[in-house]
Chain A
C-alpha cells in the first residue's frame, strides 16, 4: 500500500541553526500538510499546501517556517533559526481529492534542538 515517507527519522540540531525536514507524499495525492506534536501534547496543525501554494496555516506557522515542493515528489518544511521550543515530532500528511479522502501520515521526524 502506498505510504508517506519522511526523512530523517531523527534530527539533532544546535539552537539557531536551520533545518529542512523532508517528505515524499503518496504519488497521486495533491494536498499536503505538516503537523507537529510536542512530547505529551496534542498533534497540532501547521500548514496545508495545494497547487504549489499555502492554502491554510496556523498561528504556529510564523515567518520562521516555510514549505516548498521543489520537484514532483518531495515536500519540505524549513525551520530557520531554530529554538529549543521547536523540539517536537513533525508529521507530514497527504490526501487525495475529495472530502471523503482521509489524510495519510508519515512516521514523523523527531527534531531535537540542543
Chain B
C-alpha cells in the first residue's frame, strides 16, 4: 500500500527566499506524481504533474522533481511571495486514485 510523507509539516520564511518542499513515497510503481496547492476552505489546485518516465516539470517559479529509485519528489519555489502562502500537497498516482501526504503548511512573511 502506498504511503506518502511530506516534510516539513510547516514552514515559515521571509518573502523572496527560495525554498524546497519534500515528499517521499513507499511504492516506486507510481504512474505519476502530482503537486497541489490548497487554500483554507478551498479545493485543491493542481500545480504540476510529473509522469513516472520524467525527472522534472517546471511552471513559472515552480519546479518539481521526481526520483523513483529513491522514492522522493521535491517542489522548489523560487523567489517566494506572500501569495504563495498555502498548504502544499503531494500525491502519488496509481492506476486510478491518488494517495496524498498530509501536506506542508507554508507561510511567506511579507
Chain A interfacial positions (CB closer than 8 Å to B): 4, 6, 31, 33, 35, 41-48, 55-56, 58, 91, 93, 99-108
Determine whether the beta carbon of B96 is less than 8 Å from that of A105: no
Query: Interface residues of B, CB < 8 Å — how many?
Result: 25
Give the contacts of B11-61 with A (CB-CB under 8 A): 31-32, 34, 36, 42-46, 49, 51-52
Whole-angstrom distance between the alpha carbons of A104 and B45 in the complex?
7
Among B31, B43, B49, the most chain A Cβ lie within 10 Å of the Cβ of B43
| Sampled A-B contacts (15; CB under 8 Å) | A4-B43, A6-B43, A33-B98, A42-B103, A44-B100, A47-B97, A48-B96, A48-B97, A99-B51, A99-B52, A100-B49, A101-B49, A102-B34, A106-B43, A107-B42
Q: B66 in the interface, Cβ–Cβ < 8 Å?
A: no
Interface of A is mostly: strand
- B95: min CB distance to chain A, Å: 7
User: From DSSP, what is the main secondary structure of chain B's interface residues?
Assistant: strand
B72 contacts the other chain (CB 8 A): no
Most buried by B among A33, A104, A105: A105
- Rounded to whole angstroms, the CA-CA distance of A31 and B103 in the bound complex is 25
Could you tell me the distance in whole angstroms from the C-beta of A4 to the nearest C-beta in chain B? 8
Given A43-B89, A100-B51: A107 in contact with B100 (beta carbons within 8 A) = no
- CB neighbours (8 Å) of A4 from chain B are 43
Q: Which residues of A contact B102 (CB under 8 A)?
A: 41-42
Closest-CB distance, B93 to chain A (whole angstroms): 8
Closest to A92 in B: B43
Q: Which residue of A lies closest to B32 (CB)?
A: A99
A58 contacts across to B, CB distance below 8 A: 97
Q: B63 contacts the other chain (Cβ, under 8 Å)?
A: no
Q: Which of A56, A102, A108 contacts B49 (CB 8 A)?
A: A102
**B100:A91 contact, CB within 8 angstroms:** no
